[in-house]
Amino acid sequence: MTILYITPKAWKQIEKAVRKNPTIETGGVMMGYPLGDDRWVVTYASEPGPNAIQNPNSVFFDDAHLRKLVRKLSKSRKWQYLGDWHSHTIKRLSPSKGDKRTFWEKASQSMYTSPSPLMLIVGLGRQNQVQARAFILGNSLREVARIELFDRQVHQPRGETSR
């Protein structure tokens, strides 16, 4: 079963960006590390960058800014690029045709190489709470079975030190 863990700090980064202006799409890169087969930990979620174009139905990331950020965090924190996250302003949290096309294109770029790229789609629900669905790219695009907040003490394998 595929599980995406998100640290409380990364979830707050996502929630803050979504709530800043819920009438436009936002997003960014997700950095973190694998936690065994089919399990990943998102430790950092960026915003789309200073030159991003954000509209009610689309967001175009500032790719130059995000490439630099990925390089910096990969070196300084030893995190790796896990995938992208973005918001939808509609209740439907399924990938659009454009989402899928962008995801496939980005997955083949060497700067963003990830063995199993992830896409997280978030949005505000009826009670104004942030909801999320995640998808993973393998031979096809499939939904991640579970998304959970990461608790280091619960998920830390014995003998390992925290990152």
Q: Is the dihedral of CA 97, 100, 105, 111 positive or negative?
A: positive
CB 144 within 8 A of CB 118: yes
Domain holding 111: CATH number?
Answer: 3.40.140.10
DSSP state, 62?
Answer: -
Total domains, the chain: 1
pTM above 0.75, yes or no: yes
Partnered with residue 86 across adjacent β-strands are 27, 121
**What pLDDT score was predicted for residue 65?**
97
Look at residue 142 and give its three-state secondary structure.
Answer: strand
Q: Give a yes or no: residue 136 inside a domain.
A: yes
Query: Which one has a higher pLDDT value, 33 or 153?
Result: 33
